[in-house]
Structure 1
Amino acid sequence: MACTIQKAEALDGTRVMQIIWHDEEESLYPAVWLRDNCPCSDCYLDSAKARKLLVEALDVNIGIKGLTFDRKKCQYWGSELQLPTLDFEDVLRYDEHAYKWLSTLKKVGIVRLTGASDKPGEVSKLGKRIGFLYLTFYGHTWQVQDKIDANNVAYTTGKLSFHTDYPALHHPPGVQLLHCIKQTVTGGDSEIVDGFNVCQKLKKNNPQAFQILSSTFVDFTDIGVDYCDFSVQSKHKIIELDDKGQVVRINFNNATRDTVFDVPVERVQPFYAALKEFIDLMNSEESKFTFKMNPGDVITFDNWRLLHGRRSYEAGTEISRHLEGAYADWDVVMSRLRILRQRVENGN
């Protein structure tokens, strides 16, 4: 949530730039630090990623004459979302389209790619496009379809409530890719919600609930056999903040929330009340966006920001719904985004 600037100004007589974020939080940037970190070609050697400006040449009493700021920001949304859509093959072939894909993914949190085949292997192509995929205990890629004795609730036909994937890991995957290979005729609709937007609403409507969910450690667990046998456990705050109090990640999956809850007894009921209000906000008609994937669609989304779910569908005598999924790490995605930005700007 730290990426939305509401106001920027130079404070009179202080040699400091003030940034006011969307939630009224304040950040201050001294002019001398800004000067020291100027990225222009005279002050910074881009090929070496190193500072050229010498301390001897630094005016430690420098001030700020005026400023403007780039108003690009994270775009929060609810049911009014216009789902960003690009062509799958264009993203694979052209840097401009790949750059638009990843920059939109960073800004909006979700992008739909259309025109992929109805065969497995398409998410692996996207993994190669950005660098590599994120290996988990479910493999480099995994198949979402109803299975007998399913080792994950996603591998059933029932409704999936809003969740993020893999909070049982200490470092949950940052980006999720889902390719629709086969879709059921009735049911199986996808539901998504902008978790950062919901956090903003919760903080405004009930600051105490926000404080509880952003300060209480919750246990998550996942045990089973897939790519290999596994037994993982972690503790996360459902709303994870950075050191400035900005939301940076949502960690929540009710299916893998452990029975262990290591908090004083008097804090249990307030926690559940806060969690219930958070989930009620997610499920409000104004917050959630519903759509149905078609064969050949690939949905790519921010697993730290968005929570996703699925409506139930009826099982038949054969598999009626089949998705192939994979994960990517934000470090890998952001690395590719920076490289693509440079290529596009340089016209390569």
Structure 2
Amino acid sequence: MNTATAFADFRSYPLISALTAVQALADRVQVQWADGRSSPFHHQWLRDNCPCSHCVYSVTREQVLEIVDVAEDLAPASSRIDAQGCLSIDWQDGHLSRFDPGWLRAHAYDDESRAERRARRPQSQLWDSRLQLPVFEYQALMEDPQALLQWLLAVRDIGLTQVRGVPTEPGSLAQVAKRISFIRESNFGVLFNVQSKADADSNAYTAFNLPLHTDLPTRELQPGLQFLHCLVNDAEGGESIFVDGFAIADALRREDPEAFRALCEIPVEFRNKDRHSDYRCLAPVIALNAVGEVAEIRMANFLRGPFEASVDDMPRLYRAYRRFIAMTREPRFRLTRRLNPGELWCFDNRRTLHARNAFDPASGARHFQGCYIDRDELLSRILVLQR
């Protein structure tokens, strides 16, 4: 069995192992699998996840049932493996629930099943100056879903990629970005032009060097992906520099755990102000996810407000902040490349810090275009392509 119609989902779940036995216990049903695994399912969990058309709207595959509308002590009148190999539950109130074994195994929460799922979760591949840069061809990404998927997996897992062969007409970047999803607009526009100009509203629109940073740390949610597309690059200088913020955080955690804790615990305010806007966000430099893994780096010294911490924490914060920036300057972490016309960077802006060497605008024209897409859109696109 491997069909999407048997459960409340758009994905298909392969039959890893067949159900062989069911045991009714006081508050749960214990099932046995053909490979010897045993999985308990509490009564409330089973009733809550019933995929029938009364509990889930078949068009949207979204749940209609709210568990509070079911008796807290509801128990099965009977449970069995039916002729199709599904777990069937006849509830005491007359409701029938039927669970596809592929779906049930994929969502089992015994220790062994949960450990399997944790092991299969995507893992960030940390990198340093020795990174073999993942490079992809524009035409393949525009025409081949498998090539597109491989690119997006590299963006997800490595956080830095290059695409070559992109047309150099202004606006061409949008067609590449929309292969993932819609573009996130900011106060800099949908597509923004990175050029030196006299009335700059960001240091990015000057000719001097930009230190390593993430874009828009002043927002509650920093953009997930950033694209930079080279249209013209005749100026001397202006090389792109990247570091893997996750790799630096990992090294900091091992080499200086007290500094790592300070950057996770003490919030810093970032500010972005011009004549028409004033954005501010108070958040730590390093954010962890629900299981303690580094999930986000927030850093742009040129967009930082004065530190506001307790008297005891201020020296601790400065020591950690200085250490983090010093590590971004270490050659072991830095990857430096010059972007040529028809090439673009696509990188995880909440992970990969980027910088630019100063350039001489008198030596030639330099015109990049950029845009943002949220990380959620990348992850959604990957899942849809995979299914």
**TM-score bracket, shorter-length normalisation:** 0.7 to 0.9
Q: Which residue of 2 aligns with 1:91?
A: 141
Q: Which residue of 1 aligns with 2:259?
A: 209
Q: Which amino acid aligns with 1:237?
A: P
Instruction: State whether residues 112 and 298 of structure 1, in contact with CA within 8 Å, keep that contact through their aligned partners in structure 2.
Output: yes
Aligned-pair distance for 1:184? 3.4
Instruction: Look up the SS of the partner of 2:361 in the other structure.
Output: coil
Are 1:277 and 2:323 matched, yes or no?
Answer: yes
Aligned-pair distance for 1:258? 1.3
Q: Which residue of 1 aligns with 2:312?
A: 266
Instruction: State whether residues 218 and 237 of structure 1, in contact with CA within 8 Å, keep that contact through their aligned partners in structure 2.
Output: yes
- Which structure 2 residues correspond to residues 1-348 of structure 1 after superposition, within 5 A? 31-32=39-40, 64=112, 70=120, 73-224=123-274, 229-259=276-306, 261-316=307-362, 320-342=365-387
Instruction: State whether residues 235 and 361 of structure 2, in contact with CA within 8 Å, keep that contact through their aligned partners in structure 1.
Output: no
Aligned-pair distance for 1:111? 1.3
For structure 1, the 5+ residue unaligned runs are 1-29, 343-348
Instruction: State whether residues 181 and 373 of structure 2, in contact with CA within 8 Å, keep that contact through their aligned partners in structure 1.
Output: no
Over 3 Å counting, the alpha-carbon distance change for 1:174 and 1:263 in structure 2 is: same
Q: Which amino acid aligns with 2:265?
A: S
Give distance in 1, aligned partners of 2:366 and 2:219.
27
Give distance in 2, aligned partners of 1:65 and 1:332.
28
319-328 or 53-62, which deviates more: 53-62
Give distance in 1, aligned partners of 2:339 and 2:109.
58
- The C-alpha deviation readout for 1:229-261, integer Å capped at 9, x for no partner, is 3211111100011233221100111111013x3
Aligned-pair distance for 1:64? 5.0
- The C-alpha deviation readout for 1:3-32, integer Å capped at 9, x for no partner, is xxxxxxxxxxxxxxxxxxxxxxxxxxx954
Over 3 Å counting, the alpha-carbon distance change for 1:100 and 1:270 in structure 2 is: same
Q: Which amino acid aligns with 1:111?
A: T
For structure 2, the 5+ residue unaligned runs are 1-37, 64-85, 91-98
Instruction: State whether residues 227 and 372 of structure 2, in contact with CA within 8 Å, keep that contact through their aligned partners in structure 1.
Output: yes
Q: Which amino acid aligns with 2:283?
A: H
Aligned-pair distance for 1:73? 2.9
Aligned-pair distance for 1:262? 2.3
Give distance in 1, aligned partners of 2:126 and 2:225.
17
Across the aligned residues of Structure 1 and Structure 2, the Cα RMSD in angstroms comes to: 3.1
Instruction: State whether residues 235 and 362 of structure 2, in contact with CA within 8 Å, keep that contact through their aligned partners in structure 1.
Output: no
Give distance in 1, aligned partners of 2:227 and 2:265.
30
- Give 4+ residue runs of structure 1 displaced > 6 Å after superposition: 45-48, 55-63, 65-68
Q: Which has the higher contact order (CA 8 A, sep 6+)?
A: 1
Instruction: State whether residues 219 and 258 of structure 1, in contact with CA within 8 Å, keep that contact through their aligned partners in structure 2.
Output: yes
Give distance in 1, aligned partners of 2:111 and 2:282.
45
Over 3 Å counting, the alpha-carbon distance change for 1:148 and 1:47 in structure 2 is: same
Instruction: Look up the SS of the partner of 2:176 in the other structure.
Output: helix
Give distance in 1, aligned partners of 2:60 and 2:343.
40
Over 3 Å counting, the alpha-carbon distance change for 1:207 and 1:54 in structure 2 is: farther
Instruction: Look up the SS of the partner of 1:96 in the other structure.
Output: helix
Aligned-pair distance for 1:303? 0.5
Aligned-pair distance for 1:298? 1.1
Aligned-pair distance for 1:180? 0.5
Instruction: Look up the SS of the partner of 2:223 in the other structure.
Output: coil
Aligned-pair distance for 1:149? 2.6
Aligned-pair distance for 1:314? 1.1
Q: Which amino acid aligns with 1:236?
A: A
Over 3 Å counting, the alpha-carbon distance change for 1:47 and 1:78 in structure 2 is: farther
Aligned length: 302
Over 3 Å counting, the alpha-carbon distance change for 1:47 and 1:201 in structure 2 is: farther
Instruction: State whether residues 238 and 359 of structure 2, in contact with CA within 8 Å, keep that contact through their aligned partners in structure 1.
Output: yes
Over 3 Å counting, the alpha-carbon distance change for 1:134 and 1:63 in structure 2 is: closer
Give distance in 2, aligned partners of 1:257 and 1:62.
46
Which protein shows a greater Rg?
2
- The C-alpha deviation readout for 1:148-168, integer Å capped at 9, x for no partner, is 031101111111111000010
Give distance in 1, aligned partners of 2:323 and 2:114.
43
Q: Which amino acid aligns with 1:324?
A: Q
Instruction: Look up the SS of the partner of 1:309 in the other structure.
Output: strand
Instruction: State whether residues 184 and 313 of structure 1, in contact with CA within 8 Å, keep that contact through their aligned partners in structure 2.
Output: no
Instruction: Look up the SS of the partner of 2:382 in the other structure.
Output: helix
Give distance in 2, aligned partners of 1:75 and 1:61.
27
